[in-house]
Chain A
């Protein structure tokens, strides 16, 4: 009873494809190729209906909705702390990063600010979820292009950062650790040292993967010059994160519009861009971002101030009337929450601006004229999490 049962649109597309004897030279018939949906455990219950002329894609239309959970409706009947547990499930590979912009939006409306120690730990955990998210991409993208090895290495070394997130928050995938006004708990004993070790392992993993995958000739042949997105097109589709920076746009919300409550200005790091805008550029930018994230974590670990991790907030949280939009640079791109409050226990309306939704809406544009194997490169390199599209 989901979008699968959209018989009209499927039939229309199929009929159109048969009518479309596009290749006049060879008089080949058009063909409709259905890709997906796959098992929910992968990040792909996305279905693509591609119309083909031989090996070439004439049009590709993503069909969403297999995982639509109606979070925007559910937020209207849940208290702010409850929503925090809910939105963990949007981008499930970098869950902690989902919580932060929502908490910051609530804090902005309430006029509350987290104590410095909480801000530091927040930023560290934010970057750790970025590493957990992108390191999986680096392995998984190799896997999709036929390089199994990268996948094994990624899953092995991703454990290092997941263990750190787990030992600090209690949750490997869904921490639910951020609170309005601070954090649930302080860090456990010995966490800072073990985090340093984990980050060293991750930096070594990046070097390893650069040799294994990014430097690989076959990988480059599958990604260089494929799925080129010019900057102007990327902007008008609202592409964000590494996808936008791979098109040469030097914009990172962590540096350029960092909301109060995160301390990126306390670390020395760099925003990487790539001029090419192709699948290779997107992978390369993500690889550099993983390194930068590890560097940010290592620097912040050494400078965590002491003090409480929770500001004084009422026991029952009512958020004053108002509207606020807070966005942060999440692993997948810009993620923001437009919160409308009427001074109640529950928000009146929450618009969730998730990165993958915009990032994947460019597929019909970028897939046109590509070849079928390139479609895999394009989808893989745009890097979406289904929960982040469907919400």
Chain B
């Protein structure tokens, strides 16, 4: 109800200093199984658990989770932490590449929960129906070698998710049984979900700025009811 300031990011955690014993126990269990493989973690009490493992332990993490009863496979994807090189923040009225204005100073790359060291991070989530909890796994992939072992032998559902991650981010999943494109044509060049892949629709039709941010109900505005 209260925290509405946008800059303030620490408040939700600081306001809830309680310890989530169940998730702490899960984290301790994973750490016991993987040892040094766990390189980062984050717990939001009563909500979620993030575990970052190193690349050598990516499959071991899945096996450990499955052995712990996390048998439901949720999703597997990735995050590209590179700040958009096009300098297109939402307030800008122009495309800097088209207009020729110098790009602004690139922001520092900041990884999210459970930390990170590289630009690309794998993201996968599994769920335990008996415990009623999920684990979100993350894994850093170094820029010069975007390959990782496949999860599809542990969680069969990872098959399609890895195919999608491959074409969208350009990863290689070693040992994957059917590594062909899922969505994109076979001759498609580029990896669309990378931050440096331009969204051409934005080139053709420039971003109108924040004029169409919807108004509060009851606030007089000519915007009408939108679409």
Residues of A bordering B, CB below 8 Å: 1-9, 64-65, 68, 70, 72-74, 76-77, 79, 81-82, 85, 108, 110-113, 170, 174, 176, 179, 184-185, 232-233, 235-240, 249, 251, 256-257, 309-325, 327, 334, 336, 338, 340, 342-346, 349, 351, 353, 357-358, 361-362, 365, 390
Contact = CB atoms under 8 A, between A and B. Distances in A.
Contacts of A322: 9, 12, 112-113
B90 to A, nearest CB: 4
Given A70-B192, A79-B213, A344-B90, A320 B207 contact: no
Contacts of A338: 75, 77, 123, 125, 136
A256 B129 contact: yes
A315 B216 contact: yes
Contact of A256 (B132, B195, B227): B132
A351 B123 contact: yes
Nearest to A314: B4
Interface stretch (B23-31, B141-149, B156-164): B156-164
Interface in B164-220: 168, 180-187, 192-193, 195, 197, 199, 202, 207, 210, 212-217, 219
Given A1-B185, A232-B71, A342-B110, 18 more contacts: A6-B185, A76-B195, A79-B210, A111-B3, A112-B1, A235-B73, A235-B129, A238-B74, A238-B75, A238-B155, A249-B129, A310-B216, A311-B1, A324-B47, A343-B7, A345-B90, A357-B160, A362-B157
B123 A235 contact: no
Given A236-B71, A322-B9, A361-B159, A3 B181 contact: yes
5 contacts: A111-B4, A236-B154, A236-B156, A313-B4, A345-B91
B225 interface: yes
Contacts of A256: 129, 132
A235 B90 contact: no
- Among B4, B136, B186, B193, max chain A CB count under 10 A is at B4
Contact of A6 (B160, B181, B199): B181
Contact of B225 (A170, A317, A362): A170
Contacts of B73: 235-238, 358
- Among B6, B7, B212, max chain A CB count under 10 A is at B6
B72 A81 contact: no
A345 B207 CA distance: 13
B80 interface: yes
Contacts of A77: 88, 90, 199, 202, 207
B9 A320 contact: yes
A340 B112 contact: yes
A257 B132 contact: yes
B155 A185 contact: no
Nearest to A63: B182
Contacts of A358: 73, 75, 157, 160
Contacts of B207: 77
Contacts of B105: none
Contacts of B157: 236-239, 358, 361-362
Interface string B79-99: 110001000111100000000
Contact of B227 (A72, A85, A320): A85
Interface of B: 1-9, 11-12, 47-48, 50, 71-75, 77, 79-80, 84, 88-91, 110, 112-113, 123, 125, 129, 132, 134, 136, 154-157, 159-161, 168, 180-187, 192-193, 195, 197, 199, 202, 207, 210, 212-217, 219, 225-227
A362 B161 CA distance: 12
A151 to B, nearest CB: 30
B75 A344 contact: no
A313 B183 contact: no
A184 B216 CA distance: 9
Nearest to B66: A236
A213 to B, nearest CB: 30
A17 to B, nearest CB: 16
B217 A5 contact: no
- Among B84, B180, B210, max chain A CB count under 10 A is at B180
B17 to A, nearest CB: 15
A351 B129 CA distance: 22
Contacts of B182: 3, 64-65
A3 B202 CA distance: 24
Contacts of B79: 340, 349
A3 B183 contact: yes
B199 A73 contact: yes
Nearest to A310: B217
Contacts of B11: 111, 320
A6 B213 contact: no
Given A233-B156, A338-B123, A345-B210, A68 B72 contact: no
A312 B199 CA distance: 34
B75 A351 contact: yes
Contact of B213 (A81, A176, A327, A344): A81
Contacts of B134: 325
A236 B210 CA distance: 43
A176 B12 contact: no
- Among B72, B168, B187, B225, max chain A CB count under 10 A is at B72
Task: In the A-B complex, list the 7 residue pairs whose CB atoms are closest, starting with the nearest.
Answer: A318-B6, A65-B183, A111-B3, A238-B157, A321-B9, A238-B73, A237-B157
A5 B75 contact: no
A390 B180 contact: no
B185 A5 contact: yes
B129 A315 contact: no
Contacts of A176: 226-227
